[in-house]
Structure 1
Amino acid sequence: MQVDTSTQFQAGSISKPVTALGVLELCADGKLDLDSDVNRYLKTWQLASKFTNNPVTLRELLCHRAGMVPRSFAGEREAGRPHTLDEALNNHAWFYGWISGHYFGTVEAKYPPGSRYLYSAGGYAVVQKAMEDVTAEPFETAMAGLVLKPVGMSRSHFQQPPQDTNDIARGYGWMLTLFGGGRWRVLPEKAMGGLWTTPQDIARLIIAVQKAKSGEVGGPISPAIANEYLTAPYDGWQGIGIRLTGSGENLKFYHDGANFGYFARFGADVSNGRAWVIMSNGQKNKFGPITKSIAREFGWAP
């Protein structure tokens, strides 16, 4: 199959900054609060924590500051029975994490919330559960209404497995083969890595953020949400689900994504409208020469 502008790829962890915008929309509607105990919103499952005097908040979860593990999830074979989010949260999913250190085990707050940066897909599984509970909708349905449709991301969804497999780039890489082969992995932990999308749709999201940050009203993202999104609460480089670099007129936002068989990355300037998006169906980070060529072609400063 020849790739074109409508071909979908797994976005990996680029799912996280998209999810974060959905959370901020729910906050704007008064359904969530970034600084409340997340257990306040969890109806059928509660996050157990030994740090009873230091509750985990959505802000901490979105910024990887909740002390949560595990770091990632391996997903399931395309031909197998996908485990459920509840199975992952209750540690009933066979081999749902990487086997080493903080990569495998129960979804829990291992360290005091707010005490350190610790990248965690487990934290985003909790975010997904909270969003499903407050909206009373499947995560993919909630995100379609909160972010994807308003932004015009018509070739994007969080369905796992995908219902329409036409014009999808199958993944390649030795890790995908090692973990059972197939065309792609299925990830019930959708908030952390379940987005199927295209470079064009990610570009639409970037433009919406840039316009909102410039103060433009009436768009799919409000200036208030853009300001919150692009503010680092704990350090200079981690916004609400998004990575940041620079400051003032030189502020940039970016994120990578890597699932078995796929690698993706985007970067954007906040104030001058510049951006680039690259998605591939190979699990290798070989984008350096491409981004340098983009900068050279358009005369962008490094």
Structure 2
Amino acid sequence: MQSYGQSKSALTSQRLENRLIPITKAGADSGSYQTIYERMKALNVPGVSIAVFDGGQIRWAKGYGLSDKSQAKPVDTATLFQAASISKPVTTVTTFRLIEAKTLSLDEDVNQKLRRWKVPENEYTTKEKVTVRRLVSHMAGLTVHGFAGYNPADKLPTVENILNGTPPANSSPVRVKETPGEKETYSGGGFTVLQLLLEDVTGKSFGALAEEMVLQPVGMKHSTFSLPLPSDKASRAAKGYEETGDMVDGGYHVYPELAAAGLWSTPSDLARFMINVSDSYRADKGILRQATVRQMLVKIPQAGGLGFGVDGSGETLRFRHSGGNAGFSCYAVAFAETGRGVVVMTNSDNGTPLIHELVRAITREYQWPTMWPKE
């Protein structure tokens, strides 16, 4: 276990560690306090890492449990976890930086800029087209909800393999199955289209582009989309664990669907990212312009925002995203007006109930305007 923060924050984290209220299967509070270690044991979660921020600053961060059970390796604040679908907001901010630079247009048919592959036209695309706005809001009508990942030793597919559903890809082809703009249909496949689009318009690999546009300027020094992981980061990467407690085949899966699911990060790095978005929203001090972020964080009818889920208004306006890859579960939420929020990452398929209990305890301790940001 390792942490950093001020002494007052240390006392706060210690209180939280002893004041988790288990949630019953029916969704109600059990009514009795348990410690974080009791809940980790009960839920079979080997490791968890937390970062809490307020007023645009990280107040405390701490790791608990083990990143690798076989080596008895403890989680610390530099332990890397798979961010899973929290990759999508990072991809969205990368995309909006290109929109601000006029390299991309939010509402242009993406087939006008795609070079190596095109979205196949069909009866659903005769009048409405797939656009960047629809991709980042899951309104493009595309197939393929998510991805299973690959053993690190496997031969990995190209992005074109993934989009076409051809070997060695293990997912179905990405196709338009509903009229674009009609309704929200969550699609990791759509973010893979976006990954190819970003590479085609810049001539750069997606990982290098995200590093340049977001990770480096935000100060996310531990984070990477690199595949395979560089040795210095691989040595700090947590192993993923199934519901049974068994380690995921290969230690963890890898995701060439980088834009949708491929980010490795820490809660502190993701907190810096969420703070930066909030800074842009509040004071035009982030890497995106205030007007851009205020457009992103408007809730779309029948959907969320652009790249984030969005709830509330005024002081309760919050943006969020959850994530789940094989052996990993995570969650990030921030209040746009106050620069406060929390990121929780675990190395278990069982992590979501623990995340819920931790976020409830944190919102209660800090008296945030909503007790639990709803999924």
Say yes or no: TM over 0.5: yes
Select which of 161, 166, 170 maps to 2:235. 166
Root-mean-square deviation (CA, aligned residues, Å) is: 1.8
Q: Give yes or no for the alignment of 1:197 onto 2:274.
A: no
Q: Is the 8 A contact 2:183 2:303 kept in 1?
A: no
- Give deviations 1:231-271, integer Å, cap 9, x for gaps: 23x32751111000111332111110000000000111111
Higher Rg of the two aligned structures: 2
Aligned partner of 1:288: which letter?
A: H
Residues 1:288 and 2:356 aligned together: yes
Conserved? CA contact 1:161–1:187, under 8 Å = no
User: Equivalents in 2 of 1:106, 1:257: separation in Å?
Assistant: 22
1:175 touches 1:261 (CA, 8 Å); kept in 2?
Answer: no
Offset at 1:85?
Answer: 1.1
> Which residue of 153, 156, 160 maps to 2:220?
153
Matched residue type, 1:91: G
- Cα distance in 1 for partners of 2:325, 2:244 equals 9
- Note if contact 1:78-1:182 (Cα within 8 Å) is conserved in structure 2: yes
In the alignment, is the contact (CA less than 8 A) between 1:64 and 1:120 conserved in 2? yes
How far is the alpha carbon of 1:46 from its aligned partner? 0.8
> Is 2:286 the counterpart of 1:212?
no
Opposite residue 348 of structure 2, the aligned amino acid is: G
Relative to the length of structure 2, the TM-score reads 0.75
In 1: Cα distance, 2:209 partner to 2:246 partner: 32
Task: Indicate if the aligned counterparts of 1:176 and 1:184 stay in contact, CA closer than 8 A.
Answer: no
Look up the equivalent residue of 2:121 and give its one-letter code: S
Secondary structure of 2:342's aligned partner: strand
**1:293 Cα shift?**
1.5
Q: Deviations over 1:66-111 (max 9, x none)?
A: 11001111111122111221111121134623xxxxxxx2101111
When normalised by structure 1's length, the TM-score is: 0.92
Residues 15 and 194, structure 1, Cα contact 8 Å, conserved in 2? yes
**Percent sequence identity over matched residues?**
36
Q: Which residue of 2 aligns with 1:121?
A: 188
Q: Distance in 1 between matches of 2:222 and 2:291?
A: 27
Q: Is contact 2:162-2:169 (8 Å) kept? A: no
Question: Is 1:136 aligned to residue 203 of structure 2?
Answer: yes
Equivalent of 2:162 in 63, 88, 107: 88
Secondary structure in 1 matching 2:283? coil
Which SS does the other structure have where 1:108 is aligned? coil
Q: Distance in 2 between matches of 1:142 and 1:27?
A: 14
Give unmatched runs, 5+ long, in structure 1: 98-104
Checking the alignment, whether the CA contact within 8 Å between 1:236 and 1:245 is kept in structure 2 is no
Shift of 1:56: 0.8
Structure 1 residue 127, shift from structure 2 partner:
0.3
| Matching residue of 2:330 | 264
Q: Aligned-pair distance for 1:291?
A: 1.1
Partner of 2:342: 276
Residue identity in the other structure for 1:93: P
The CA deviation at 1:163 is 2.1
Mapped to 1, the partners of 2:359 and 2:315 lie a distance apart of: 21
- C-alpha distance in 2, partners of 1:42/1:69? 18
- Corresponding position of 1:57: 131
Aligned residues: 292
Worse-superposed segment, 108-117 or 257-266: 108-117
For 2:91, give the aligned amino acid.
T
1:36 aligns with 2:86: no
Asked if the contact 2:137–2:303 (Cα under 8 Å) also holds between the matched residues in 1, the reply is no
What is the rounded CA distance, in whole Å, between the counterparts of 1:162 and 1:176 in structure 2? 24
Q: CA deviation at 1:116?
A: 1.3
For the residue of structure 1 that corresponds to 2:120, the secondary structure is coil
Cα distance, 1:186 vs. partner?
1.1
CA distance in 1, matches of 2:313, 2:324: 27
Partner of 1:72: 146
Bigger drift between 75-84 and 140-149 goes to 75-84
User: How far has the Cα of 1:297 moved from its partner?
Assistant: 2.2
Q: Determine if contact 2:164/2:173 at 8 Å carries over to the other structure.
A: yes
CA contact (8 A) 1:254 1:267 kept: yes
